[in-house]
């Protein structure tokens, strides 16, 4: 066996040692595992998590009504429509994004278990969050970034995040796109004995539950009700899973959970050629769809991010609309923020027009902005990569070839991704398996469907194959 094959054969053993969880404990007979048991064994109550986060300057971020953007959206809605748009300003967290919530719990767990340092594999805001929290707890920190294509070219947003990680004292390893990232991550975990501050561990996901709980509690206090809808930028699914769980924990069980991603259909995120054909790295379908269909492709044996357990709708917006809403937020509300939350804001802007004016829709996050996250360096980078910048109908945008800006807010729109089709894609890998009663019960929970719907979807898939 090659060195690569030998190391990859030990990945579950390395993961178990580095994250402090024996995932075998939760395996069921057949295809499933006991998700709730895995989550509940992380022995922190919601209050405990809030205490850890408040100690570390995380959480209790402002919930802001975007009155000017709401009024702008109402210009394009029929009479009596145009829901009030609120945003949770997560840029106020230590490190500047909601990911400080998940990092706070991962780093706290590492400290409690006696690890000397933490490692995270990420190109994004999570690395900065882990680095900031590790600095606060006096732990060593290594961030492994998927950063360059084979021509050694990196996006301005990724370089911005690397600078932020280094500012907090982290060692940053910058790698090229492809399988090198996970291999190097495993190798470092084994060599250093550091804690795996995984994106998708129970620690991280539970840390985001406070975000959902705060949204629900603050709106109940201010407005006397829970929000009708919360829009959540979706990539790996941890953001959506944690926020949804927090909402439900405090009673907001009827709030609709809407995932939103940037439409990058046709671009393969592990492709060297496609890597720099996207204008920013956050919240795109290249992660959102694959991770929804197969959550356990993540950096731990069993991912705690299970978006199909919670998502009611899934919509896509184009890159040009995200840029438009970034400017609208700055010029109408005086809030200059990065593209992550503005992906959800672009979706919410149109969704609000379909809701009644006394209803509330919440954009669940913002993120910090900086030199590499600003619009102009991102668009300059796009032009260097032969992307045509146009004005017109945003739905005409072709990922990797054009970025289409709307002339005004009336043109902002979304495309619906059918949840049923994603669930069917999830089920395809089980068509040749004789599913037991235990398997079917697991799949019903995993896909948020009843027994009759599961049988129907499996039959449709079988018929389509023949």
Domain stops at, among 181, 202, 223: 202
Q: Are residues 270 and 315 in the same domain?
A: yes
Rounded CA gap, 340 and 61, in Å? 16
Could you tell me the pTM of the whole model?
A: 0.95
**Domain that includes residue 434, residue range:** 429-465
Length of the chain, in residues? 466
Q: Which two tokens stand for residue 185?
A: 């991550």
Q: Are residues 106 and 185 in the same domain?
A: yes
Q: Are residues 19 and 68 in the same domain?
A: no
In the block, tokens 């300059």 appear at 380
Rounded CA gap, 35 and 46, in Å? 18
How many domains are there within the chain? 3
Tell the burial category of 370 from Cβ atoms under 10 Å away from its Cβ (0-12, 13-18, 19+): middle
Q: 153-180 as b/e, with b when 16 or more CB fall inside 10 Å?
A: ebbbbbbbbbebbeebebebbbbbbeee
Q: Which two tokens stand for residue 150?
A: 């084979």
Q: Is residue 68 included in any domain, yes or no?
A: yes
- Tell me the mean pLDDT per 10 residues along the chain, length 466: 83 85 93 96 91 96 98 98 98 96 96 95 88 96 88 85 92 84 89 93 95 98 98 96 98 98 86 82 86 90 96 97 97 96 98 98 95 90 94 95 96 97 96 96 98 97 90
Q: Are residues 314 and 303 in the same domain?
A: yes
Task: Please give the pLDDT value at position 144.
Answer: 93
Q: Are residues 252 and 385 in the same domain?
A: yes
Task: Please give the pLDDT value at position 248.
Answer: 97
Task: Please give the pLDDT value at position 86.
Answer: 98
Cβ neighbours of residue 301 under 8 Å, at least 6 residues apart?
A: 12, 15, 16, 23
Domain stops at, among 202, 225, 255: 202
Q: Are residues 293 and 249 in the same domain?
A: yes
For residue 295, the domain's CATH number is: 3.40.50.1100
Task: Please give the pLDDT value at position 105.
Answer: 96
Q: Are residues 299 and 388 in the same domain?
A: yes
């Amino acid at each position: 066996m090659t060195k690569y094959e030998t190391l990859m054969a030990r990945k579950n053993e390395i993961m178990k040692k580095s994250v402090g969880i024996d995932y075998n404990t939760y395996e069921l007979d057949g295809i499933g595992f006991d998700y709730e048991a895995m989550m509940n064994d992380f022995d922190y109550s919601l209050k405990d998590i809030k205490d850890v986060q408040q100690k570390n300057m995380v959480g209790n971020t402002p919930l802001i009504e975007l009155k000017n953007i709401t009024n702008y959206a109402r210009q394009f809605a029929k009479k009596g429509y145009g829901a009030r748009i609120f945003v949770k300003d997560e840029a106020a967290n230590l490190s500047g994004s909601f990911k400080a919530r998940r990092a706070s719990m991962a780093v706290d767990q590492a400290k409690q278990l006696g690890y000397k340092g933490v490692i995270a594999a990420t190109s994004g805001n999570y690395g900065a969050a882990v680095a900031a929290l590790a600095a606060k707890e006096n732990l060593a920190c290594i961030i492994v970034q998927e950063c360059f294509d084979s021509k050694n070219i990196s996006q301005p947003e990724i370089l911005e995040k690397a600078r932020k990680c280094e500012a907090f004292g982290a060692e940053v390893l910058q790698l090229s796109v492809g399988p090198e990232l996970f291999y190097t991550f495993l190798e470092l975990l084994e060599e250093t004995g550091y804690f795996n501050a995984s994106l998708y561990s129970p620690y991280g996901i539970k840390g985001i539950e406070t975000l959902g709980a705060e949204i629900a509690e603050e709106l109940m206090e201010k407005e006397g009700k829970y929000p009708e809808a919360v829009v959540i930028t979706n990539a790996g699914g941890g953001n959506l899973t944690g926020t949804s769980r927090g909402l439900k924990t405090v009673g907001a069980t009827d709030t609709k959970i809407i995932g939103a991603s940037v439409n990058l259909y046709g671009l393969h995120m592990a492709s060297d050629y496609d890597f720099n054909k996207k204008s920013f790295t956050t919240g795109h379908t290249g992660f959102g769809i694959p991770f929804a269909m197969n959550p356990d492709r993540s950096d731990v044996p069993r991912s705690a991010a299970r978006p199909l357990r919670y998502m009611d709708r899934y919509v896509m917006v184009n890159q040009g609309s995200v840029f438009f809403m970034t400017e609208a937020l700055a010029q109408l509300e005086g809030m200059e923020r990065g593209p992550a939350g503005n992906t959800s804001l672009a979706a919410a802007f149109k969704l609000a027009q379909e809701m009644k004016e006394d209803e509330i829709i919440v954009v669940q996050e913002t993120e910090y902005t900086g030199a590499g996250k600003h619009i102009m360096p991102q668009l300059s980078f796009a032009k260097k990569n032969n992307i045509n910048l146009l004005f017109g109908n945003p739905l005409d945008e072709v990922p990797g070839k054009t970025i289409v800006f709307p002339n005004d807010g009336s043109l902002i729109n979304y495309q619906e991704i059918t949840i049923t089709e994603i669930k069917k894609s999830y089920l395809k890998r089980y068509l040749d398996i004789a599913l037991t009663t235990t398997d079917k019960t697991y799949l019903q929970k995993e896909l948020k469907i009843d027994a009759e719907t599961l049988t129907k979807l499996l039959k449709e898939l079988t018929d389509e194959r023949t």
